[in-house]
Amino acid sequence: MTVRTRIAPSPTGDPHVGTAYIALFNWAFAKHAGGEFLLRIEDTDAARSTPESEAAILDSLRWLGVTWNEGPDIGGPHGPYRQSERQAIYSEHADKLISDDHAFVCFCTSERLDEVRREQQSAGQQTKYDGHCIGLAKDEVAAQIAAGTPHVVRMKVPEEGECVCSDALRGEIRIPYAQIDMQVLIKSDGMPTYHLAVVVDDHLMQISHVLRGEEWINSMPKHQLLYEYFGWDMPVHAHLPLLRNPDKSKLSKRKNPTSISYYRDSGYLGEVLANYLAMMGWSMPDEREQFSMTEFAEQFSLDRISLGGPIFDVEKLNWLNGQYLRAMTPNAFMDAIAEWALNRDRLAQLVPLIQERTERLADIAPQVEYLLGDRIPLTESSFADSKLETDQLLAILHHIGRRFDEQRSWQRDELYQVCKSLADDMEIKLRDFLYPLFIGVSGRTVSLPLFDSMEFLGPDVCRVRLREAIEALGGISKKLGKRLDKAFDQLDRAAQ
């Protein structure tokens, strides 16, 4: 058997370090066994998937040194490699499940489903589909479909017994069928859900081993049932531990930058981030901390994975990056600098901002200092020129943070609009409102235009700087955070 693994990211945002970590482990597992690794794009959520996000994910994986044998960019014998292009395959498979009596068409409206959920909740029961449409006669189903009634396809689940699944890292996992919902397989827009698509694709793409995040453990029974219904062998599954913040909570962008682009833009080397991610829950047999991806693949084995939540600690990453940078030859170091910030793409973004403000080339360095490196550390006195009180400044920064969390594109004009409308909602003069953001982002009162700077820095760096600005102003306690969240939600509702 050829070992075949895959990474299956959903292109719905910035390329996440968690995706890179799972990708690296799958890649190393396949390489170690002389097998193949492929990349599949799970873009069945049409509203949230974007080509920009797909491109950014591919780019950042390449930057980390991950290569794939098949994928949307290079094709391969099992394509297409984008789920949105495989709809006919999923419909065909859903039809097969219906005709074999393993799935059924469901016409329940969302009002009915809400009602059922409410009743179950008030009776203290687990909320799940109640099987209302399971017994509909074939001609009734056909008539409703012909009449254009919106519908989904759901899988059947045994009423009794328990599902016994096996995880290569965790052994046997037992989950009673009673806890498992009759999962929607095809949505009313005709697109498959993750659960149908992942099983069909892993089978058709001949995946032998699925290494994925532990958040999918509870989906195993559904997937195992689908493999049984189709009469297919199930690939070996292993659920890797999730990355954690230093406080052990699940890695989140509120506490740690999570976008790979952040690490690239902040001057980490791709090979260092890859090396660091390879140490997340895994260690070299000789416990060495510095190793290349080739060495990682050579030594990789599942039994060296430990399940305790691996901590993604930026301090440790900094240390490792420093080790690599200092060990470089002067030539390689020069290349790294040029590759990082002084390449033509990055300069092309800066030139429109700085050219018109420059008399001598020597003026450039101080202008771009906060864009290329860090800005000066902030203290409360950095905000001394503001007309507003500290609690107002904190409220502004907190609310901006909340709006930015929802912000999907990161362009100057849109960022301006977000701030402008928030300033209006908070009834604060735009100038006063923007001041703490200005200081937070650039650390100075005179800088290049704020929104251009933010676009250049990207969402993750801006988020980190906002967080640091809040800390400099004394921070937001749990209690204050709750109050500010409430105030923000009220503003949001009033604005609608």
Active-site entry in 128, 253, 255, 316 = 253
The stretch among 8-16, 61-69, 344-352, 487-495 that binds ligand GLU (CB under 6 A) is: 8-16
- The sign of the CA dihedral 168, 174, 179, 181 is positive
Q: Considering the complex, what minimum distance in angstroms separates the CB of residue 87 from ligand GLU? A: 16
- Please identify, using beta-carbon distances, which residue of 8 and 186 lies nearer to ligand GLU: 8
- Please identify, using beta-carbon distances, which residue of 23 and 274 lies nearer to ligand GLU: 23
Subset of 32-51 contacting ligand GLU (CB under 6 A): 42
The stretch among 4-12, 148-156, 183-191, 359-367 that binds ligand GLU (CB under 6 A) is: 4-12
Subset of 211-230 contacting ligand GLU (CB under 6 A): 212, 216
The stretch among 2-10, 111-119, 447-455, 470-478 that binds ligand GLU (CB under 6 A) is: 2-10
Q: Is 387 a catalytic residue?
A: no
75: β partners: 71
| Residue 400 structure tokens | 């901006």
Q: Considering the complex, what minimum distance in angstroms separates the CB of residue 65 from ligand GLU? A: 20
Q: How far apart, in whole angstroms, are the C-alpha atoms of residue 2 and residue 39?
A: 16
Subset of 430-489 contacting ligand GLU (CB under 6 A): none
Q: Does 9 bind ligand GLU (CB under 6 A)?
A: yes
- Contact residues for 91 (Cβ-Cβ < 8 A; gap 6+): 186, 190
Task: Using CB under 6 A, pick the residue from 8, 196, 205, 461 that binds ligand GLU.
Answer: 8
The stretch among 3-11, 88-96, 124-132, 356-364 that binds ligand GLU (CB under 6 A) is: 3-11
Q: Does 54 bind ligand GLU (CB under 6 A)?
A: no
Residue with tokens 């399940």: 307
Q: How far apart, in whole angstroms, are the C-alpha atoms of residue 327 and residue 334?
A: 13
Q: How far apart, in whole angstroms, are the C-alpha atoms of residue 451 and residue 430?
A: 13
Q: Considering the complex, what minimum distance in angstroms separates the CB of residue 19 from ligand GLU? A: 7
The stretch among 5-13, 134-142, 181-189, 294-302 that binds ligand GLU (CB under 6 A) is: 5-13
Q: Considering the complex, what minimum distance in angstroms separates the CB of residue 429 from ligand GLU? A: 43
Size of the site for ligand GLU (CB under 6 A): 7
- Please identify, using beta-carbon distances, which residue of 235 and 440 lies nearer to ligand GLU: 235
DSSP 274-290: HHHHHTSSB--TT--S-
Q: Considering the complex, what minimum distance in angstroms separates the CB of residue 171 from ligand GLU? A: 20
Torsion angle of C-alpha atoms 288, 292, 298, 299, degrees rounded to 10: 20
Q: Considering the complex, what minimum distance in angstroms separates the CB of residue 276 from ligand GLU? A: 21
- Secondary element (H or E) of residue 317: helix 314-327
Helices 450-472 and 344-354, packing angle to 10 deg: 90
- Please identify, using beta-carbon distances, which residue of 73 and 215 lies nearer to ligand GLU: 215
- Contact residues for 221 (Cβ-Cβ < 8 A; gap 6+): 163, 165, 175, 177, 180
The stretch among 7-15, 57-65, 67-75, 297-305 that binds ligand GLU (CB under 6 A) is: 7-15
211: β partners: 238
- Please identify, using beta-carbon distances, which residue of 198 and 396 lies nearer to ligand GLU: 198
Q: Considering the complex, what minimum distance in angstroms separates the CB of residue 226 from ligand GLU? A: 13
Subset of 331-350 contacting ligand GLU (CB under 6 A): none
Contact 177/159 with Cβ under 8 angstroms?
A: yes
Q: CA-based angle 194:200:202, to the nearest 5?
A: 90
Which contacts of 288-291 are long-range, i.e. CB under 8 A and separated by 24 or more positions? 289/320, 290/320, 290/323, 290/324
Q: Does 10 bind ligand GLU (CB under 6 A)?
A: yes
Q: Does 208 bind ligand GLU (CB under 6 A)?
A: no
Asked if omega into 352 is within 30° of 0 (cis), the reply is no
DSSP 462-480: HHHHHHHHHHHTT---HHH
- Please identify, using beta-carbon distances, which residue of 258 and 447 lies nearer to ligand GLU: 258
Q: Considering the complex, what minimum distance in angstroms separates the CB of residue 404 from ligand GLU? A: 23
**End-to-end Cα, the chain, rounded Å:** 57
For 178-309, list the strands marked E by DSSP.
Answer: 184-186, 209-213, 236-240
- Please identify, using beta-carbon distances, which residue of 9 and 221 lies nearer to ligand GLU: 9
Task: Using CB under 6 A, pick the residue from 57, 97, 153, 198 that binds ligand GLU.
Answer: 198
Note the residues at the interface with ligand GLU (CB under 6 A): 8-10, 42, 198, 212, 216
Catalytic residues: 253
